[in-house]
Chains A and B, each alone.
Chain A
Amino acid sequence: MNEEYICRCEEVTRKEIQEAIDDGATTLAGVKRRTRAGMGLCQGRTCQRLVTQMLAKVEDPAEIKPPTSRPPVRAIKIGEIAEEEDE
């Protein structure tokens, strides 16, 4: 029951997230640091809600805010933002 993946990108299970919460994580960032949930390619777009639901059992949901959002919010190819290659 607890083995299903909550964060698919980083393959983090419900059990691992519960352990992080038991370890003292009270924020999405705290869970992320302990488990990598939300660190993957989709940057938490899928798992953030699920982790929030789990955190809401110990925290006021109004206080569960997303981790700091920094560019890029979409995966961008490094070659697209780098200077052109010298020919």
Chain B
Amino acid sequence: MKTTDIAVIGAGPAGLSCAVEAAKAGAKVTVLDENLKPGGQLFKQIHKFFGSREHRAGTRGFRIGRQLLEETERLGVEVLLDAAVYGIYEDRLIAFITNGKDHTLKAEKIVMATGASENALAFPGCTLPGVMGAGAAQTMINVNRVLPGQKIVMVGSGNVGLIVSYQLMQAGAGVVALIEAAPKIGGYGVHASKIRRAGVPIYISTTIKEVVGKEKVEEVITVELDEKWQQVKGTEKQFNADTVCLAVGLSPLTELAWMAGCEFTFIPALGGHVPIHDRNMETTLKGIYVAGDITGVEEASSAMEEGRLAGVACAESLGYYDEKQALELKNQIWGRLDALRTGPFGEGRFTAKLKQINARRQLA
């Protein structure tokens, strides 16, 4: 059985940031990821990130991914790819498959940075080829360099829907419409403005009624919704399309945390049931930490900060930092996290995260 100081599950922005921070302090870190390539969603992010200089704002996501990988390599972090964690058992024993063989890893600390998965939407025709998650479409264009289609209807106006619409056009596709069930656009106005300038109509209070096609998507029929989210007859619109991309939210990927026995709290603003954690990202189970979207869906910059926080906290807890050093670092990170959670888009998450941490205090 392998042993390590800190096992990080997930080599996305949160996991890699965590690994870098803990390794900087001198800890032995092993990162496991089920994919063949590290970086999680970062290598699909070809747009420039928001935030401040400390958040590497203005840098394209994939470049941030490259920087993180270089750092993990320089610091001697072990990154195991194609390593699918399938179970967490008592005493922080991780079971995973890599190279077609079963392995176990025993860690002093486990950081779960498993991210989130795309929500589905069910409507007549939703199983037709050509209906896919927006994230899946983004992987096709930005990683595999394959266009999912030429005439795309995007469902959902959160940042994912807006950004992927933009990137689909950059990749050469046309976006015939973006529809949003809510009575307003959910993502950043600047992202919406980009695609409006490119001629994409955005229809709010509108949903998919039906997707029609013999063997693949041929036509999308939308319908308007009233204040009670009921379909309004006679408001149908018809779009000639070959692809429907669903960007209807993300849900934290929490199975491993449930399996380990972490306690959860229900916070709709963060995507539903999320593991309770303290200010150091430690869950209700000693030695088990969480970071990134698994703790509640936010965005890559917050995920990286949470990862760093977990990394510092684990390193401190293992004695690689003294309390003073750790506090200094954590204060900086908390400050940057707070900055990301301000303004009309961030306040809700700030309150939600506070609730999540308070749930931990109430249990303690």
Contacts and interface: CB of A to CB of B under 8 A. Distances in A.
B264 A65 contact: yes
A47 B97 CA distance: 26
Interface in A28-87: 45-47, 49-50, 52, 61-62, 65-66, 68-74, 76-77, 80-81
Interface of A: 1, 3-6, 8, 14, 45-47, 49-50, 52, 61-62, 65-66, 68-74, 76-77, 80-81
Given A62-B266, A65-B273, A73 B122 contact: no
A66 B255 contact: yes
B107 to A, nearest CB: 17
Contacts of A47: 120
Contacts of A65: 264, 273
A25 to B, nearest CB: 18
B266 A61 contact: yes
A5 B259 contact: no
Given A66-B258, A76-B97, A77-B100, A49 B251 contact: yes
Contacts of B266: 61-62
Interface in B112-142: 117, 119-127
A72 B86 contact: yes
Given A49-B251, A76-B84, A4 B34 contact: no
A73 B273 contact: no
Given A62-B266, A71-B95, A81 B85 contact: no
Interface of B: 34, 84-89, 95, 97, 100-102, 117, 119-127, 251, 254-256, 258-259, 264, 266, 268, 272-273
Contact of A71 (B86, B120, B273): B86
Interface centre among B117, B123, B255, B273 (most CB of A within 10 A): B255
A11 B95 CA distance: 31
B259 A3 contact: no
B259 A81 contact: no
Contact of B124 (A1, A49, A62): A1
Nearest to A7: B122
16 contacts: A1-B124, A4-B122, A5-B126, A61-B272, A65-B264, A66-B273, A69-B258, A70-B259, A73-B86, A73-B256, A73-B259, A74-B34, A76-B86, A76-B97, A80-B102, A81-B97
B250 to A, nearest CB: 10
A14 B268 contact: no
A87 B119 CA distance: 46
Given A62-B266, A66-B255, 7 more contacts: A4-B122, A50-B121, A61-B266, A61-B268, A61-B272, A71-B87, A74-B84
Contacts of A66: 254-255, 258, 273
A8 B126 CA distance: 10
Contacts of B123: 4
Nearest to B261: A69
Contacts of A61: 266, 268, 272
B352 to A, nearest CB: 14
A62 B84 CA distance: 30
Contacts of B272: 49, 52, 61
A45 B259 contact: no
Contacts of B259: 69-71, 73
Shortest Cβ-Cβ A-B pairs, 3 listed = A71-B87, A72-B86, A62-B266
Given A4-B124, A49-B120, A71-B95, A80 B251 contact: no
A81 B102 contact: yes
Contacts of A49: 119-120, 251, 272
Nearest to B265: A62
Contact of B122 (A5, A72, A80): A5
B255 A14 contact: no
Contacts of A45: 117
Interface centre among B86, B101, B125 (most CB of A within 10 A): B86
A81 B89 CA distance: 16
A12 to B, nearest CB: 11
A46 B120 contact: yes
Nearest to A1: B124
B97 A80 contact: yes
